[in-house]
Amino acid sequence: MRKVIALLLIIIGAVFIWNIGARLSSDAIAMAIGLFFGALAAIPAGLMLIIATRQQNPMMPPETPAQPPQQLAQPPVIVINVPQQIAQPQQQRQFKIVGEPEYPSIEVRQ
């Protein structure tokens, strides 16, 4: 009985694929086949990657449990002496605006 059901499923699948193949262009069928075989090719590559990452690297020492970092009793204090030039008020800064005439403008009072 199992063999009959399996044979029946194979025949139905073949008819279904034949029907789709008759409706699609050859480019679409080629792309579908390429996708199928590309997915099949990715399976061994993925398995090799999983196996490679699960194995321990013989060059690396075994991991030791991480110890919590020791905290200092008081954080370090850094003191910077401010130079006297910065501490004194500076002169009025003058800016030159690009495109503005070089000579000072004459103020007109009304």
Separation of alpha carbons 102 and 6, rounded Å: 96
The pTM is what?
Answer: 0.37
Mean pLDDT rounded to a whole number for the chain: 78
User: Is pLDDT above 80 for 81?
Assistant: no
Q: Rounded to 5 degrees, what angle do the CA atoms 35, 40, 44 make?
A: 140
Average pLDDT value for residue range 28-46: 92
Do residues 50 and 42 touch, judged by C-beta distance below 8 A? no
Q: Which residue has the higher pLDDT, 23 or 81?
A: 23
Average pLDDT value for residue range 86-90: 60
What's the pLDDT score for residue 39? 94
Q: Give 12's pLDDT tier (boundaries 50, 70, 90).
A: very high
